[in-house]
Structures are given as structure tokens and as C-alpha cells.
Structure 1
Amino acid sequence: MDLDFQGVCVIETTAQDVLELFCTSSSTRKRFEGWRSDRRRTEVVPVVMAHRTRVLYRLTEADVQGVCRETEHALGNVRREVGESVPQIVDWNPDFAFAHTFHACVERLQQVPTYQQFRKFAFEDGDGLRMLGNPSKAVVRRLVGEGCSEEQARAAMRWRVGNAYYGFLREVYALVQLRLRGVDLRVHPLADALFRVDAWTGRRALSLRVGNRKFRQGMNAGRKTRTEDLLADVLPPLEFDTIELTAATAFGEVHLPTAAHLDRAAAQLKEA
């Protein structure tokens, strides 16, 4: 922790903190070195390695609830059947992972952005354009050139980015609520994007998952490699916890963990 200019203690998490905890086995070191040497990550690596998580630790419940109230609908008027109609965009990821861009935006704005603030960052700020705005526009242009209608491509991209935004907002809400419940939870985009750890406390790693009608629920759910598998050989061994939500039932509403989910998670995370 550091002190700010007023002598107030500032909590922060760095990339080095992530490496000291998770990059301690042959497999995780190999994964990190592969990411660091990947030519596609030439611009990504220095940004992520320099990132310091600070703002998220000083957010209040009112801050996050205010964003949930004030944000415009991140999916716009796009319906699922249209949003998932372009396979090249359904699973598209820019070189900068979405987590990188969201975390960078938070630290830049010194607050969690509404979706309209995030769009402004992505399409008007130099860093936002480099991380997400320009790559997303390039994909849309390419697909239109290959015969996809511009309206359909734009709608699919809105669906992709909007859902990623909602996912980040859920994670921020869980972080704030669990810290209020006495859990010293930490986050960093390197842990999220590289090791699939949404948050951690001590040697306990937390995943926040939402049931998807197209995939199985439970510990084997989703398209990504399980956190437990990625970090299985880290020593001393890590423990793993999951908050799993049912799929959202109301279109256009921020789908957040319930108090019951969070109470159970807090109790689990404070064990041992």
C-alpha cells in the first residue's frame, strides 16, 4: 500500500502481485512467457504490466448502484437472435482483452463508467481507440466487405461488447459487496485475462459465472479453460470458489448477484 498526497493509505494491486501468487509453476510460467512473447501482444504487455488497480477498492455500494441506474441499456435494441447471428463476432476478442480495456477505463475516469461513458472512452480516447474502438471497427468493416450487412455486423458487435460490459459490472458489484462483508478481495486485469481469476483473497481464487442456455452449468461450464485447471499445479496449492448466477430473465436489466449468493461466498472465502 502507498500513501496519497494527503497521507491517506491507498490500496493497490500490481501485475507483480499477480505473478508472485499465480505464476509459480512450470505451466503458469510457460503461459505467462507465451503471452509476453506473443507478437499480437506487443502493445498489450507493457500496458497490462504497468496497470495498478486502485479505484475499484474505494468504490461504495452507492457508486455501483448509481451506475446500474444511470447506464443506458448496453445491448441497445439488439435481440439475442440478431446479436448471435454473426459467428465471427460471437466469440471475438481483440488483442487487448475486454478486462484490460474496462480496467483501464476505470482508472482513467476514476470511477466505474456507465455504458455511454465506456463507449466514449472506447471511441474517443486515444487509449480506448487503440484497445477496443479501432479493432472493433476494423472487424465490422472486414465482415461488411465479405458480404455481411453493416446493420447486422454493428448489432452483433454491440451485443458482444454490451454483454462484456455487463459481465464486468457484475464483477465490480461482487467485489464491492464482498469487501463490505469483510473479504479483502483483490483484482487485476492480468489475473483475469491470463489466469481466469476474477478476484482473489489470500490463496483463494474466485470465479463469477452466469449460467448459459447453450452450455452446461456448474464447474465445467463455459467456453474458457477452467481456472482450477490452469492453476492446478501452483504451489502452495490454491483453493477455488465460485459464485454462479442463473441466466438473466429480464432483458435490459443489470443482472447482479443476490445478497444470499454474496453472503454464502463471503462465508466460504473467510473460511480457514
Structure 2
Amino acid sequence: MIETTAEEVRELFCSSAATSKRFDDWMSDERRTEVAPMVMAHRTRVLYRLTEDDVRSVCQETEHALGEVKRRDGESVSEIVDWHPDFAFTHVFHICVERLGHVPTYQQFREFAFNDVDGQHMLGNPSIEVLRKLVDAGRPERQVRAAIRWRVGNAYYGFLREVYTLVQLRLRGVDLRVHPLADALFRVDAWVGRWALSLRVGNKKFRQGMNAGRKTRTEDLLADLLPPMRFDTIELEAATTFGEVHLPTAVHLDRAAARLAGRGHSRLT
């Protein structure tokens, strides 16, 4: 059984003073006293068993993760635009996948977040708490709900995009690996050998360095690793169709596979 553990991530990415300190600070952060044990115990397994059909069926069967929310409404509550619960969204998605044994549709993910004990703890309850806090402060409830839906829905679509990329590149022979510790702490969407892969969607806020989730570039975070880590990026144009999962094309994937197959020196047999 193929699996990736947090200890493997730690061994690979904590080989410099800066990254070791980043990890130690995260482990000792009072806000992460419940987060760190769950993430460190996490083993990525299910994602390596997925087929192309598995992911495409989820993309087709999921309800629209953004609902009827328009961007102007989704980004109208400044406190929610860059809202992060103690558990990063990627933590919740990865743990949900391993719990369910498959990638959830958005409606299945919402069920997990509000009805599973761990899901409630990681996302359901924090979302209710921030909703109540902002409503008590005078924000219209409908507006806050729309902003939370926009925030979580876009994060969900981003996760589907990463899963689709993982499955497609593995089908092309690249032994790509993922783990929520690498994603949330070191901004590494996936890696093969000593090549780190980032998946990015063209975004004005990102280009201007204003996106809170990407304030520090992966290349900067891992600049001092020894032996050095190398970097590759799949960059997509901004989505133009509302309500569809924005996925990399076959051209994006073929080119990335060709680059990574030689650079990573790690191919599936």
C-alpha cells in the first residue's frame, strides 16, 4: 500500500534551520495544540488509489460549491476573505478523504463538516462561531453566510483541482506525493523526489502578493534546504466559467509530466 506520512514530510522539508524552526513553531503554537497531533498522525493513502473516473465523477456530481453566491457578495465581508480556522482547509479535506475512503462531493463534505465529530471540530463549529461573532457585531447574517460559502467553496474547488492533477500526473508515470503538512506548512502542493510542484490559477491578488494563503512563496520558504529543493509550477489562466471545476488541460499535464519525469528521477513502474 502506497502511503505518505508526516514524518516523511518532516524528513524531506526540515533540513534547514529556517524550515526546522517553522515546524517547531507550528508544533508549539498554542492554537495548534489539537491540530498538530491530528496532522502528524495523518497518512495519505486514499488519494493514491483514485482513478481518473473517480475524480471526474465527483466533479460532475457535486453540487455547485459556491451556490448562488456572486463574487461581489462572497468578497464583501473583509473578516472572511482571508479567514482561516485553526485547522487549515487542506487539513480538513485530506482528513475527510481518508475518513470517507473517497473524494467527497461538496454536499458530502458539508455533511462531514457539520455531522462528523472531527468535521464539526475542525470546520463546522468554527464556521458557526465566526458567523455568530460577525452577526452580533452588526453584519447581516445573509451576507456573512454568503462570504463563508464563497471562502469554503473556493477552497473545495482548489482541492479538487489538486487531486485531479495528482491523479493525472501519476497516470502519466510521475510518482507524485502529497500530504496536508507539506501543503499547509511549506506551501508544497505536491512533490516528486526533490522537485516541489505548485498549482496556481492566474489571479490579480496573487500576482500582487496580496493573497494571504500565498504570502510567502514556496521557493522562499524552502530556499535553504540541503540538498536543495527544485521547483516547478503549473499555472492556469483564471477561470471563465462559473459553476464548473477549473481543471488543468491535457496540455498542462503532459508538459508537467515531461518536465517532472526527468527532474524527479522517480517514476511509477
For residue 87 of structure 1, what is the aligned residue in structure 2?
Answer: 78
Of 123, 127, 136, the residue aligned with 2:127 is 136
Q: Does 1:239 align with 2:230?
A: yes
TM-fit CA distance, 1:221: 8.2
CA separation in 1, counterparts of 2:73 and 2:170?
A: 38
Aligned-partner residue type, residue 125 of structure 1: D
CA separation in 2, counterparts of 1:157 and 1:13?
A: 31
CA separation in 2, counterparts of 1:252 and 1:33?
A: 40
Q: Does 1:164 align with 2:155?
A: yes
Q: Does 1:124 align with 2:115?
A: yes
Q: After TM superposition, where is structure 1 displaced by more than 4 Å over at least 4 residues in a row?
A: none
Count residues with an aligned counterpart: 261
Superposition map of 1:105-254 within 5 A: 105-216=96-207, 222-223=211-212, 224=214, 225-254=216-245
Structure richer in helix, relative to its length: 2
Percent of aligned positions with the same letter in both sequences? Answer: 75
For residue 267 of structure 2, what is the aligned residue in structure 1?
Answer: none
TM-fit CA distance, 1:214: 3.2
TM-score (norm 1): 0.94
> Secondary structure in 1 aligned to 2:204?
coil
Superposition map of 1:19-34 within 5 A: 19-34=10-25
TM-fit CA distance, 1:215: 3.6
TM-fit CA distance, 1:126: 0.3
Q: Spell out, residue by residue over 1:40-82, the C-alpha distance to the aligned partner (whole angstroms, 9 max, x if none).
A: 0000010000000000000000000000010000000000000
CA separation in 1, counterparts of 2:50 and 2:210?
A: 30
> Secondary structure in 2 aligned to 1:11?
coil
Q: Spell out, residue by residue over 1:128-147, the C-alpha distance to the aligned partner (whole angstroms, 9 max, x if none).
A: 00000000110010000000
> Secondary structure in 1 aligned to 2:207?
coil
CA separation in 1, counterparts of 2:35 and 2:112?
A: 17
Question: Are the counterparts in 2 of residues 212 and 222 from structure 1 also a CA contact under 8 Å?
Answer: no
CA separation in 1, counterparts of 2:114 and 2:186?
A: 28
Segments of structure 1 that go 5 or more residues without pairing to the other structure are: 1-9
Of 247, 250, 253, the residue aligned with 1:259 is 250
CA separation in 2, counterparts of 1:211 and 1:187?
A: 22
More contact order relative to length (CA 8 Å, sep ≥ 6):
2
TM-score (norm 2): 0.95
TM-fit CA distance, 1:101: 0.1
Segments of structure 2 that go 5 or more residues without pairing to the other structure are: 264-269
CA separation in 2, counterparts of 1:258 and 1:13?
A: 27
